[in-house]
């Protein structure tokens, strides 16, 4: 799918382009391996890390802990990088993390208009929409319209703050804890935390919607 467009419009065209790209990538991997620059086993490990180990469940753990543990919450908003590392999450693209607190008065949303900066250790690799032109172009100018496309409507008076990730600082939104979750455990709460709620394009699931 092109950076600018959508799934359905050029499906056949994409298909042939993909196989051409596929051949080119395979050819380059062979060249680089034959030259001794890369070890395919290291490539496999890199892929496995981001397919299987690092993903938004890490961020959900951070959020749920911030909901139940006031001293952790305080550490997280003071300096998120070590607070997140306490839970074992640290890696590339998360060297300097800042946690953003959603409140009834302010809703935070994160974008990288220039490329695709995203907090890998807590959210994994970014989804296609986050990297694509429709989101990157519009969320800084009309965030409410973008929220509507995610099915989110906020009160008209809620301030919306958009954070454009132009440096190596990575932003993680800490959504508000849903009502009706008093007494829930950290693990139960983590189930309510969606990836999009930590980018700011969604809200946590409500307890009554949990299957």
Partner 1 sequence: MNGAHDLGGMHGFGPVEPEPDEPVFHAAWEKRAFALTLAMATPGGWNIDMSRFARENRPPAEYLAMSYYQVWFAALETMLKQRALVADDEIAAGHSLHAPKKVARTLSPSDVAQVLYRGGPTERETNAKAAFKGGDKVRAKTINPLTHTRLPRYVRGHVGTIEHVIGCHVFPDSNALGAGEDPQWLYTVRFDGRELWGADTDPTVSVSVDAWEPYLERI
Known catalytic residues?
112, 115-117
Secondary element (H or E) of residue 131: helix 128-131
Q: Which is nearer to partner 1, 1 or 68 (CB)?
A: 1
Binding mask 51-70 for partner 1 (x = CB under 8 A): x---x---------------
31 binds partner 1 (CB under 8 A): yes
Structure tokens at 22: 């596929």
Q: Which is nearer to partner 1, 3 or 74 (CB)?
A: 3
User: Which residue of 61, 65, 73, 136 would you call a contact of partner 1, by CB under 8 A?
Assistant: 136
205 binds partner 1 (CB under 8 A): no
Stretch that binds partner 1, among 60-68, 164-172, 183-191, 203-211 (CB under 8 A): 164-172
Q: Which is nearer to partner 1, 25 or 74 (CB)?
A: 25
71 binds partner 1 (CB under 8 A): no
SS3 90: coil
User: Which residue of 115, 185, 187, 206 would you call a contact of partner 1, by CB under 8 A?
Assistant: 115
Residue 91 contacts residue 59 (beta carbons within 8 Å): no
Q: How far apart are the first and last CA of the chain?
A: 32
Cα 10 to Cα 1, 6, 41, 117: the distances in Å are 8, 8, 35, 27
24 binds partner 1 (CB under 8 A): yes
DSSP single-letter state for residue 49: I
From CA 40, how far away is CA 172, in angstroms rounded? 33
From CA 6, how far away is CA 134, in angstroms rounded? 9
200 binds partner 1 (CB under 8 A): no
């Amino acid at each position: 799918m092109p950076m600018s467009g959508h799934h359905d419009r050029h499906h056949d065209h994409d298909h042939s382009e993909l196989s051409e790209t596929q051949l080119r990538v395979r050819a380059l991997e062979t060249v680089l391996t034959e030259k001794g620059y890369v070890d395919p086993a290291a490539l496999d490990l890199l892929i496995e890390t981001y397919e299987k180990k690092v993903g938004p469940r890490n961020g959900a753990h951070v959020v749920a802990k911030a909901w139940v543990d006031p001293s952790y919450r305080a550490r997280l908003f003071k300096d998120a990088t070590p607070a997140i590392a306490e839970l074992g999450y640290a890696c590339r693209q998360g060297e300097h993390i800042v946690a953003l607190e959603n409140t009834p008065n302010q809703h935070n949303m994160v974008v990288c208009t220039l490329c695709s900066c995203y907090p890998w250790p807590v959210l994994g690799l970014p989804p296609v929409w986050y990297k694509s032109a429709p989101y990157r172009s519009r969320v800084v100018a009309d965030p409410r319209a973008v929220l509507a496309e995610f099915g989110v409507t906020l009160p008209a008076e809620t301030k919306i703050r958009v954070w454009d990730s132009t440096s190596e600082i990575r932003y993680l939104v800490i959504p508000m804890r849903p009502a009706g979750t008093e007494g829930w455990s950290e693990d139960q709460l983590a189930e309510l935390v969606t990836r999009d709620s930590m980018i700011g394009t969604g809200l946590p699931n409500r307890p009554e919607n949990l299957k």
